[in-house]
Amino acid sequence: MRQGIGLVIVDVVTGRKANLHNELLARLAGGSALPFDADLYATAYRPLERDGNQCLDIWQEKLAVGCALPALPLWLRGEICLAVELNNIYDRTCREHRIAVTSA
């Protein structure tokens, strides 16, 4: 089983109603993939080859304003996988840039 480098997309844009994940899958799968019904979301992708066929493993998480962000896998070459702790990254970024975060 061969695999490529993964991808993580975090879509937190609230000013429009589009879904990059659905657009990406429509292009890759030719419209045969089920859409992910979420305005705000995070997805992780792992491209790999199983039995000579190209496959894509997908992790999907709906997001909500004011809620904690999930951790998602980021697959690197081989079997190396890093946990992308989105909530920790968000908290650190806010601290480092002195962005005040108010809870709902």
The secondary element (H helix, E strand) that includes residue 54 is strand 53-62
Domain ranges of the chain: 2-96
Q: What's the confidence (pLDDT) of residue 4? A: 81
Report pLDDT digits (tens) over 12-27.
Answer: 888 887 889 998 888 8
Q: What's the confidence (pLDDT) of residue 46? A: 93
Predicted TM-score (pTM) of the model is: 0.83
User: Which portions of the chain are predicted below pLDDT 70?
Assistant: 1-2, 31-32, 103-104
Q: What's the confidence (pLDDT) of residue 29? A: 75
Question: Distance (Å, rounded) from C-alpha 9 to C-alpha 42?
Answer: 6
Q: What's the confidence (pLDDT) of residue 59? A: 95
